[in-house]
Chains A and B, each alone.
Chain A
């Protein structure tokens, strides 16, 4: 399962419905729920890095971040001409240098606290660029949204976790006030979704750990617990 069509092929039969008849739910509702799941999963697990490259403009300190479709919501790294620059706040500059806005040169710091970032994420550069530099931003982002007719598009979610999108959709569908409403069934699918979400977050956070990890409660076999080996008292040196 990896495309939007695969999701629909599972969702409608699970609702005892078909995509052609859409007796209980429309494809539009399914799209809305799928996109809700993608947003929530991406924000909770921070699994998607959005990298954007653009050139600075002489005399312009503010830049929008992110290609259309992938909404970046948290910048975690900025490079100027392939070198990392450091995060700070405009407020810090304001307190330390009253003429900070008039300083220009090759940018050394970036800040995000001067902008209303609800719709388009923006950052500011300090110093204000005095020429053309390559600006590269790394952000956590929200995946490209599903479109109703984009049946062959693959969802931007780790392949192993794609069922999480489906469990979210089913949970929402069974919560909706329709003839199919069933809070207990919605609760069951929510449990599956939450479980998937937690594992996705753990795996995303540990992506560079090179280790496998244990799922759920302790395995049934014996675990060598180091607490057993601590002395009762610490001997004198």
Chain B
């Protein structure tokens, strides 16, 4: 384990001796930006980072803002008094809500049963309180939301940059950054490095995703 930027940069320096640093072919800051771009890409492709957001519910409110680090939402739990979870909401479309109740916006209850998403997850508000980012809409709105919360679970970008496994750096981040660094002087080699990056991501995704999937569905062979 080593820090994402320091660990990956050390491995790159072995491949590009004397070419990374101030007044050299590639500045430190540029290489570090590329490594973080790769870290973002790996997080999305391999779905390595699980995130949670807790939202305090409000009286008579249907729509809440979502954190922009989410890539997708896997489940939404309801916490009646902000303590323990008490069940999850069912995903629905607005058409589904129409079928449930023609005037669903006016319905009130003691717990929300369904949710839908307005815009794909991950869109930030362009400026503070602009309300133009990703949102979640719940049905029903609560008439009395005292202490009630929603807990959003999903896959996200970000995560700790202090420790990343050495092989993720070697299989994914190094070839990704090499592809970017070679893109101008040697585009053919850049494509080769990028292919290697994709292959590395498949291995990482298979390895980390396997533990979630092997007991689901039709059972072990």
Does B71 interact with chain A (Cβ within 8 Å)?
yes
Q: Known: A13-B30, A159-B68, A219-B206. Is A185-B187 also a contact (CB below 8 A)?
A: yes
Question: In the complex, what residue of chain A is closest to B37 when comparing beta carbons?
Answer: A163
Q: Known: A13-B30, A216-B198. Is A144-B132 also a contact (CB below 8 A)?
A: yes
- Contacts of A82 on B, CB cut-off 8 Å? 103-106
B98/A84 in contact, CB under 8 A? yes
Question: In the complex, what residue of chain A is closest to B94 when comparing beta carbons?
Answer: A77
Does A74 interact with chain B (Cβ within 8 Å)?
no
A10/B41 in contact, CB under 8 A? no
Q: Known: A212-B155, A217-B202, A221-B206. Is A84-B94 also a contact (CB below 8 A)?
A: yes
- Contacts of A70 on B, CB cut-off 8 Å? 132
A187/B94 in contact, CB under 8 A? no
| Closest Cβ–Cβ distance, residue A230 to chain B (whole Å) | 14
Q: Count contacts on B: residues with CB < 8 A to the other chain.
A: 67
The answer for the CA separation of A48 and B179 in the assembled complex, in Å, is 31
Contact of B205 among A157, A158, A215 (CB under 8 A): A215
| Closest Cβ–Cβ distance, residue A17 to chain B (whole Å) | 12
Interface residues of B in 146-186 (CB under 8 A from A): 155, 157, 179, 183-184
Interface residues of B in 103-159 (CB under 8 A from A): 103-106, 116-127, 132-134, 155, 157
The answer for the CA separation of A47 and B119 in the assembled complex, in Å, is 5
B117/A207 in contact, CB under 8 A? yes
B74/A160 in contact, CB under 8 A? no
- Contacts of A211 on B, CB cut-off 8 Å? 74
Q: Count contacts on A: residues with CB < 8 A to the other chain.
A: 59
A182/B122 in contact, CB under 8 A? no
The answer for the CA separation of A162 and B76 in the assembled complex, in Å, is 25
Question: In the complex, what residue of chain A is closest to B106 when comparing beta carbons?
Answer: A82
Interface residues of B in 24-79 (CB under 8 A from A): 27, 29-30, 33, 36-37, 40-41, 43-47, 68-69, 71-75
Contact of B91 among A144, A208, A217 (CB under 8 A): A208
The answer for the CA separation of A131 and B121 in the assembled complex, in Å, is 37
The answer for the CA separation of A10 and B198 in the assembled complex, in Å, is 23
A161/B126 in contact, CB under 8 A? no
- Contacts of B120 on A, CB cut-off 8 Å? 45, 47-48, 158, 200, 203-204, 207
| Closest Cβ–Cβ distance, residue A16 to chain B (whole Å) | 8
Contact of B188 among A156, A184, A204 (CB under 8 A): A184
Does A191 interact with chain B (Cβ within 8 Å)?
yes
- Contacts of B202 on A, CB cut-off 8 Å? 215-217, 219-220
A-B contact pairs, 15 of them (CB 8 A): A1-B36, A1-B37, A1-B40, A10-B33, A47-B119, A48-B119, A48-B120, A83-B103, A155-B124, A158-B71, A158-B134, A160-B40, A160-B71, A161-B122, A215-B205
Q: Which residues of A contact B (CB under 8 A)?
A: 1-2, 9-10, 13-14, 16, 45, 47-49, 51, 70, 77, 82-84, 138, 144, 152-161, 163, 182, 184-185, 187-189, 191-192, 199-200, 203-204, 206-212, 214-217, 219-222, 224, 226
- A82-B104, A208-B92, A224-B221 are known; give 5 further A-B pairs, CB within 8 A: A82-B106, A188-B187, A203-B72, A207-B73, A210-B75
Q: Which residues of B contact A (CB under 8 A)?
A: 27, 29-30, 33, 36-37, 40-41, 43-47, 68-69, 71-75, 91-95, 98, 102-106, 116-127, 132-134, 155, 157, 179, 183-184, 187-188, 190-191, 194, 198, 201-203, 205-206, 209-210, 217-218, 221
Q: Which 3 A-B pairs have the closest CB atoms?
A: A158-B122, A184-B187, A219-B206
